[in-house]
Amino acid sequence: MRILLLGAPGAGKGCQAKKLAAQYRIPQISTGDLLRSAVSSGSSIGLHAKSIMDAGQLVPDEIVLDIIENRLQEPDALSGFILDGFPRNEKQALALDTMLTKMNTPLETAVLIDVKDEILVQRIVGRESCNDCGQIFNLFSSPPEKDHLCDSCGGTLVHRADDNETTIRSRLKIYHTQTEPLVNYYKHQHKLLKIDGMGDIEGIFLVVSDFLNEKEIH
């Protein structure tokens, strides 16, 4: 299965990508996660990316494309992948098509998770994720049983530095101007599945997996 998840920050891409990755046993490839681990490792890419990410801007295409190109060649991605947070603009989408054509493994589906901006702001402000297993919680809609501790593994929950209201507004603006045009890009390729992201996590997952099963995308 070779799919990607499109949607504004907070739409639920990460949650759905994790569920799909577990169900279909293929990796979730999140450029946000890859960049955050570059930041934590203190690499030169991380040092360059940190202030850009904290400000909610897009990291330069050359950096992201390099990271993705390397990641897609790793053995676990050869049997399929779920891209989460990539591509984020037309240049990245074109580059992805070129990479996948070269590898003879074209993209099968682009899933758009559609959620209204005001809901997204509330979701992101309340978001916490586990430092150890990556599980995502929301202090308003799906809080952990114990404050700041992961229900699944007991790890510490952290709130991302870029999940504050000022940064979210700028990330949403960038989403609407640069990433949203990709909806038409994939519509023209007849690869778009648009789903309402206002439902519960399980319900959305069922809609996506039913669609993939029906199309025999494994």
Which string of DSSP letters, residue by residue, matches the chain? -EEEEE--TTSSHHHHHHHHHHHHT--EEEHHHHHHHHHHHT-HHHHHHHHHHHTTPPPPHHHHHHHHHHHHTSGGGTT-EEEES---SHHHHHHHHHHHHHTT----EEEEEE--HHHHHHHHHTEEEETTT--EEETTTB--SSTTB-TTT-PBEE--TT-SHHHHHHHHHHIIIIITHHHHHHHHTT-EEEEETTS-HHHHHHHHHHHHHHTT--
Residue from 8, 26, 29, 58 touching ligand AMP (CB under 6 A): that is: 58
Q: Does 65 bind ligand AMP (CB under 6 A)?
A: no
Q: Please give the residues from 111 up to 170 whose contact with ligand AMP meets the rule CB under 6 A.
A: 162
Residue from 1, 45, 52, 139 touching ligand AMP (CB under 6 A): that is: 52
For ligand AMP, the closer of residues 158 and 218 by Cβ is 158
- Among candidate residues 19, 36, 50, 88, the one labeled active-site is 88
Q: How far is the CB of 20 from ligand AMP (least distance, A)?
A: 16
Select from 50-58, 95-103, 151-159, 203-211 the region that touches ligand AMP (CB under 6 A): 50-58
For ligand AMP, the closer of residues 65 and 210 by Cβ is 65
Q: Does 208 bind ligand AMP (CB under 6 A)?
A: no
For ligand AMP, the closer of residues 124 and 208 by Cβ is 124
Interface positions with ligand AMP (CB under 6 A):
9, 31-32, 35, 52-53, 56-59, 64, 85-88, 92, 162, 171
